[in-house]
Structure 1
Amino acid sequence: MPKIVDHEERRRELAGAVWRVITRDGVAAVSIRAVAAESGWSSGALRHYFATRDELLAFACEQVLTRVTERITGLGPASEPIDAVRRLLLETMPLDEERHIEASITFAFLALGLGDPALAAVQRKILIEMAGLCRDVVGYLRPDLTPEEQLSQARRLNAVIDGLSVHVLAGHLTPTDAAAELEAHLATLAP
């Protein structure tokens, strides 16, 4: 009987190998050969799924967005709107090992996107999703604000989350400190 291969699962496995290479050796070390070695596959088998390094990197970055979205949609109900917002936003920040890896991958793509339009498109998708999430959160918390005020507050919230995330990744803040700073900022948004 022929073996049934789940191609999407294989692609996700390869994305995990990319993440491990980036986490251990940096994004510059990602190559078809390095990812093949990390995954235990041959370069030829890997090329069956991804023809180029850029395709592999783009898929690995898109998987970050998929995983964060799955976690957010899996959150249960909260008793208060501010609690729901806090839990949702904390899922996007590098506060544990899994989220730290995801944020490292996402921010690594900022540099890659500067020189590569295809990778810039993937990064732009993530930035647009995060900006939309912040707009939704502010609209949910502050329906009393004008659309212009909501947009301004959403941009500020997005900058706070990105800034806190970068500081955690750089070791300037602990995850606990970053969560406390987010809490302080959310207090300024509460109606």
Structure 2
Amino acid sequence: MPKIVDHEKRKKQIAEATWKVILEQGMEGATVRNIAKEAGLSLGALRYYFSTQDELFVYAMKLVKENATERINKIAASESPPFEKVMAILLEIVPIDAQTMAEMEVWFAYVFYTRHKEDVFAAKKDEIFKGMKKLLLYLQERQILRSSLDIEIETERLYALIDGLALHALLEPQRMDKERIVKVIQYHMKKICIDGALVEGE
């Protein structure tokens, strides 16, 4: 009886092998041959699922995004107080543990690799920016954000802060550790929120 192959599971296995190769060898080492070897597949088997290297990269990065989105959606659907909820979402975007650190390192490697290849650059460059604006509007609707703030400018500031922290966490993990990241984000968010509206203990 022929073995039934779960094709979606196999594609995710290949994507995870791609992440591992990128982490260990960089984008230069992420050849189809190296990825197939890491996944324990022949070149022919890998090409059955992904006909080109770019197609594989796009899928692998899409999976990174989906993993992060799933975690964020769970937080968004929780019953946590608004300020606490926004803090938790922001901390899913910045790498503060082994999993998010690996995802962010792979993501940045892919972004730099594809920055001159618009035809394969599937990552929406403004998605995080839009996400920052949605979080601020959410706080504004809950009357937690200071009323005098310019949402457009504050979106730019929050976007720059989160993006910068993510990059510094990758480049200087000893200095920019989880504790420091949390303190910096909390400090910024407290500055733009009304004191009395914050959850107790924040």
Equivalence map 1:6-85=2 (5 Å): 6-75=6-75, 77-85=78-86
**Matched residues, number:** 187
What amino acid is aligned across from residue 180 of structure 2 in structure 1? D
Deviations, residues 32-90 of structure 1 (Å, cap 9, x unaligned): 10000000000110000111111111111111110001111223624421100001111
Structure 1: any 5+ residue segments left out of the alignment?
none
Structure 2 distance, partners of 1:173, 1:104, is 15
CA–CA separation in structure 2 for the residues paired with 1:7 and 1:149:
48
Aligned equivalents of 1:160 and 1:118: distance in 2? Answer: 29
Partner SS state of residue 95, structure 1:
coil
Partner residue in 2 for 1:133:
131
Return the structure number with greater helix share: 1
TM-score, structure 2 length as denominator? 0.85
8 Å CA contact 1:22, 1:29 repeated in 2? yes
**Structure 1 SS opposite 2:93:** coil
Gaps of 5+ in 2: 195-202
Between 1:39-48 and 1:152-161, the stretch displaced more is 152-161
Give yes or no for contact 1:109–1:119 (8 Å, CA) kept in 2: no
Cα distance per residue 1:77-133 (max 9 Å; x no partner): 24421100001111111100000011111111221122212332x23x2x3321221
Q: Does 1:180 align with 2:178?
A: no
Distance in structure 2 (CA, Å) of the matches to 1:31 and 1:153: 41
State the identity as a percent.
33
- TM-score normalised by the chain length of structure 1: 0.90
Say which structure, 1 or 2, has more relative contact order (CA 8 Å, 6+ apart). Answer: 2
What do you get for the CA RMSD once the two structures are aligned? 1.9
Shift in CA distance, 167/78, structure 1 to aligned 2, threshold 3 Å: farther
